Amino acid sequence: MVELTDPGAETDPDELRMIIQRLSRRIRVHRAADGISDAQLGVLFQLEKHGDRTPGQLAEHEGVTPPSINRTINGLEEAGWITRNPDPDDARRVRIRLTDAGVAIITETRRLRAAWFTQRLALLDPQERRLLQEVTPLLRRLSDS
């Protein structure tokens, strides 16, 4: 196996990292609501995937402090995209739940991002699209690590 840092490697790891970051930024710019932050979208997507969560669970998953997640939650609640509900098992805790408006933000953001990406893929020739399909498992493994 050729290491990316080997002199014979065809891919510079810094260049590959920068390309992936640039592509990610270009995808993330497409969102359903002006002013919604990446942090807020991250929480909405997490709630969609995992269901109701406590603020602590959200903070842990997002890798932020409790005060930071509370600011994010406050903004989402003010926008009407989430609600705070008493935890049925522990009255001292709350659980954060997506509203229908929050689901709509996620759905539209996903649609906008998919449309942008599909347009870019359509600019590639069939061989280039096959190459991307072949490296998809490798990119997934990198992103999951």
Domain boundaries, the chain: 32-144
pTM score above 0.85 = no
CATH topology of domain 32-144: Arc Repressor Mutant, subunit A (1.10.10)
Length of the chain: 145
- Backbone dihedral region for residue 8 (phi beyond 0: left; psi -120 to 50: alpha; all else: beta): alpha
pLDDT by residue (tens digit) across 75-120?
999 999 999 999 888 888 999 999 999 999 999 999 999 999 999 9
pLDDT by residue (tens digit) across 22-46?
999 999 999 999 889 999 999 999 9
Q: Which two tokens stand for residue 40?
A: 């807020």
Q: Looking at the predicted structure, is the pLDDT value of residue 2 above 90?
A: no
Question: How far is Cα 66 from Cα 71, in angstroms, rounded to an integer?
Answer: 9
CA distances for 43 relative to 47, 64, 119, 145, angstroms? 6, 11, 27, 20
